[in-house]
Structure 1
């Protein structure tokens, strides 16, 4: 009798444990199902987010990168072209001005030949021997001038020109009211340029005392 009562009192507890376990398993199954469904929904949302707008944005980004690379390439090419031109200019300058010191020394030789020719009186040329010597000196002077021209060494035309401190060096002033002040009237020593750059200034005499020509006024009338 007592055994039956004990069994009857234990069975309800067992049944409650079984019921609780069953409910736990059912709840876990439901939660797992919810998690799986949530993952599927998240995956679907990610796929839906890959819209044509983002694909277009990627294309625009690539186009921008291409444009940037093209700009860098053009700048590099421009820099290389400038470098090439600068190297050519430096090479040309080195070629033109490498002989400057030698040319400046040779100007003295040309000056002496010219002075020798100018010092001979005209009547002395009647002597055949003297005339032959002078002819040889003139040919030598002419050959020097041709060599100068070959190396872009040119004489500065000064007389009658406006005094230019970039090419002229004033040695004295000459009173002359008939010409504009600052006009070169006399050249003591010829000046030269090499490839447009001053090699030696002209030593000149400059006028003073003349009336300055008013700007915009024609005085020839």
Structure 2
């Protein structure tokens, strides 16, 4: 009995067909020469047009010279120096003005007070000038008159301590800067505008008139026709 030998079945992976096992054949690629021939040439670069010709160098901005820079700095320095000097001079003038004002303020701080005391001194002097007539009828009042004189002297010394001086007027030439003429009196033996009588005393404080003297001045005697 003859045996029939069957050919062995080719084992294939499950789920894979013969068609899938065959690899597809890729189409032949075109040659590089044909591709390059069919590709259009690229446009020329803009950088090529801006290229600097051979042998030439790009122009650089002109540099400021050292001398001109130094001159500009010196001019600026002189300007600030002049400004500083002017400001310093202005401040010095301001300082001197303020010192002058302060000195004047201290110098004449008592001016108004002293001016208010002057009428009191005038009243005391009127009492003293009329004391002789008063004492003739009231001799026991001498002690009171002496007290008034003492107060008067103390006030005058207080004024002198503050650089306040009484003007001397009798026999002096009239000066409107120091005197105030109340009236004129004919005097043949005196030059015109000579002070012959003082009605109210004048006072000077630190060479400044704080009260003009009220006086009577002379005038020529009119000749009878």
Q: Is TM > 0.5 for Structure 1 vs Structure 2?
A: yes
Q: Which runs of 5+ in 2 are unaligned?
A: 1-36
Match of 2:93 among 73, 77, 82: 82
Match of 1:37 among 56, 60, 66: 56
Match of 2:178 among 163, 167, 171: 167
Which entry has the higher C-alpha Rg, 1 or 2? 2
Counterpart in the other structure of 2:26: none
Counterpart in the other structure of 1:205: 216
In structure 2, relative to structure 1, the CA distance for the partners of 1:66 and 1:159 (3 Å cut) is farther
Query: What's the TM-score once normalised by structure 1's chain length?
Result: 0.65
Question: Could you say what secondary structure the match of 2:53 adopts?
Answer: helix
In structure 2, relative to structure 1, the CA distance for the partners of 1:66 and 1:183 (3 Å cut) is farther
Contact 1:185 1:205 in 2 (8 A): yes
For residues 142 and 59 of structure 1, the distance between their equivalents in structure 2, rounded to whole angstroms, comes to 77
Counterpart in the other structure of 1:97: 108
For residues 129 and 75 of structure 2, the distance between their equivalents in structure 1, rounded to whole angstroms, comes to 77
Contact 1:96 1:152 in 2 (8 A): no
For residues 170 and 135 of structure 2, the distance between their equivalents in structure 1, rounded to whole angstroms, comes to 29
For residues 75 and 123 of structure 2, the distance between their equivalents in structure 1, rounded to whole angstroms, comes to 72
Question: Could you say what secondary structure the match of 1:172 adopts?
Answer: strand
Deviations 1:21-74 (A, max 9, x none): xxx99xx969723288241xx23x83xx65xxx422322322222222222222
In structure 2, relative to structure 1, the CA distance for the partners of 1:83 and 1:36 (3 Å cut) is farther
Counterpart in the other structure of 2:121: 110
Contact 1:153 1:194 in 2 (8 A): yes
Question: Could you say what secondary structure the match of 2:56 adopts?
Answer: helix
For residues 74 and 170 of structure 2, the distance between their equivalents in structure 1, rounded to whole angstroms, comes to 67
Q: Comparing both structures, which one devotes a greater share of its residues to helix?
A: 1
Query: What's the TM-score once normalised by structure 2's chain length?
Result: 0.64
In structure 2, relative to structure 1, the CA distance for the partners of 1:33 and 1:141 (3 Å cut) is same
For residues 190 and 168 of structure 1, the distance between their equivalents in structure 2, rounded to whole angstroms, comes to 9
For residues 65 and 35 of structure 1, the distance between their equivalents in structure 2, rounded to whole angstroms, comes to 45
Q: Which runs of 5+ in 1 are unaligned?
A: 1-13, 19-23, 211-221
Question: Could you say what secondary structure the match of 1:114 adopts?
Answer: helix
